[in-house]
Amino acid sequence: MVSVLFRRNLVCWVFLLSAWAAEGWAVTPASEAAFTEGQSLMAAKKLPEASQKFEAAVALDPGHAQAWYALAVVRRRMGECAPAIAAYRRYALLAPDKPEPYYGLGLCLRDTGDKSAAIAALKKYVSLEKDPAAQKWIDNAHAILDDLGGGPGAAPASAPQLMPPTPPSADAEAGKAPAAESDKDAGGKSSSAAAADLAEAQALRDRGHIDEAIAKYQQAIAADPKRLAARAALGELLLQVHRDDEAIDVFRSALDRSPAFAQALYDLAFALRVRDRLAEAVDAYQRYIKLRPSDPDAHYGLARALQNLGRKADARKAYETYLLLEKRPGERRWTASAQTQLRALKAP
């Protein structure tokens, strides 16, 4: 039986699609076909399959705003908040005046522990949402803001970022403390100027100037090749805009400098799996797991790669390890997916 909540969400979904159609947002036929298939799968609550179709739609047409929003919604329902955040932000870049992404973005940011960013996103949603039919969601946003300490009387929140911030500990993730910077790098440019390049790249990224941000990240890396944070941020941005092969090269370059750079290893494994380079992905996941054995996400990614390679026994072991490690309440739908895959692998 379809739940009341699902029916309510489906009504909202149909309303949004009608609004998008009325605005005449044109997309390529191939992207639209994948999007339509994703809609049908989503209505049937086949969320992993729907996610794959929406991913195909945005790969075929990165400007397909509806597909980005659909991908974000599906990922959040599957408990995949990190990729959902990236998709919500991409939709918000394409449709800056739409309130919808900021609600889901706020919930995901809250669930991942980014309180200040969650407050900013939910306040943005409340300021933009003018539809009387959305009053229940507005009220819920206010309730969440109160819980987060962002209700009336709180300090003004900063504008929500439309691209994720660079992790401040990226250099430390390499397995050692960040090295002290010298006054000049090998190319003669001061490292303070290289840091300015990195800050400018992040500002361009946050404003949605993707190509300019990529160029500035590359400039920062050229100025200071030791700056692993710049490589990590560039690779993640390339992944978000589906320039996967370039992202792989960037992550490999970071690992050439620091083989124990865990963040780059995980991102490399994910990118290789996206590109169906499964044997390489397995190797990267296994290297990452040696560094971070208690991280459940890597075991799930490893299981998927092994399963697609036909290595059923190894895939079962990886799924079982994932289920032993995964204790986060927000990942329950994802653990259900793993259990489904396990049953399929054990079937005669």
User: How many C-beta atoms surround the C-beta of residue 295 within 10 A?
Assistant: 17
Q: Which fold has domain 172-346?
A: 1.25.40
* Model-wide pTM > 0.85: no
Query: What φ, ψ does residue 260 adopt, rounded to 5°?
Result: -95, 20
Q: Give bridge partners of residue 190 from the DSSP assignment.
A: 184
Residues 6+ apart with CB under 8 A from 273: 281, 301, 304, 305
What is the DSSP track for 94-138?
H-TT-SHHHHHHHHHHHHTT-HHHHHHHHHHHHHH---GGGHHHH
Question: What is the 8-class DSSP label of residue 182?
Answer: P
Q: What is the pLDDT at residue 146?
A: 85
Tens digits of per-residue pLDDT, 45-92?
888 888 888 888 888 888 888 888 999 998 888 888 888 888 898 888
- Mean pLDDT check: name the lowest of 5-19, 131-145, 305-319: 5-19
Q: Which of 133, 302, 6, 77 is nearest to 87 (CA)?
A: 77
Write the Ramachandran bin of 258: left for phi over 0, alpha for psi from -120 to 50, otherwise beta.
beta
Q: What is the pLDDT at residue 70?
A: 92
* Secondary structure (3-state) at 184: strand
Q: Give the CA radius of gyration of the chain.
A: 21
Q: Do 109 and 117 form a contact (C-beta atoms < 8 A)?
A: yes
Side-chain half-sphere exposure of 121, counting CA atoms within 13 A: 27
Q: What is the pLDDT at residue 25?
A: 45
Side-chain half-sphere exposure of 234, counting CA atoms within 13 A: 32
d(C-alpha 76, C-alpha 148), whole Å: 20
Output the CA angle 137-240-105, nearest 5 degrees.
Answer: 15
Q: Which helix (H) or strand (E) holds 254?
A: helix 244-257
Write the Ramachandran bin of 114: left for phi over 0, alpha for psi from -120 to 50, otherwise beta.
beta
Query: What φ, ψ does residue 68 adopt, rounded to 5°?
Result: -65, -45
Task: Delimit the domains of the chain by residue range.
Answer: 4-148, 172-346
User: How many C-beta atoms surround the C-beta of residue 275 within 10 A?
Assistant: 14
- The answer to whether domain 4-148 and domain 172-346 are alike in fold is yes
User: How many C-beta atoms surround the C-beta of residue 45 within 10 A?
Assistant: 12
Q: What is the pLDDT at residue 191?
A: 53
- Mean pLDDT check: name the lowest of 213-217, 223-227, 300-304: 223-227
The confidence band for 151, taking pLDDT boundaries of 50, 70 and 90, is low
Q: What is the pLDDT at residue 256?
A: 92
d(C-alpha 89, C-alpha 101), whole Å: 7
d(C-alpha 331, C-alpha 292), whole Å: 19
% residues pLDDT > 70 (the chain): 78
Q: Determine the length of the chain.
A: 348
Domain 4-148: homologous superfamily in CATH: Tetratricopeptide repeat domain (1.25.40.10)
The confidence band for 337, taking pLDDT boundaries of 50, 70 and 90, is confident
Q: What is the pLDDT at residue 250?
A: 93
Q: What is the residue type of 61?
A: D
Question: What is the 8-class DSSP label of residue 180?
Answer: P
State the average pLDDT over residues 288-292. Answer: 90
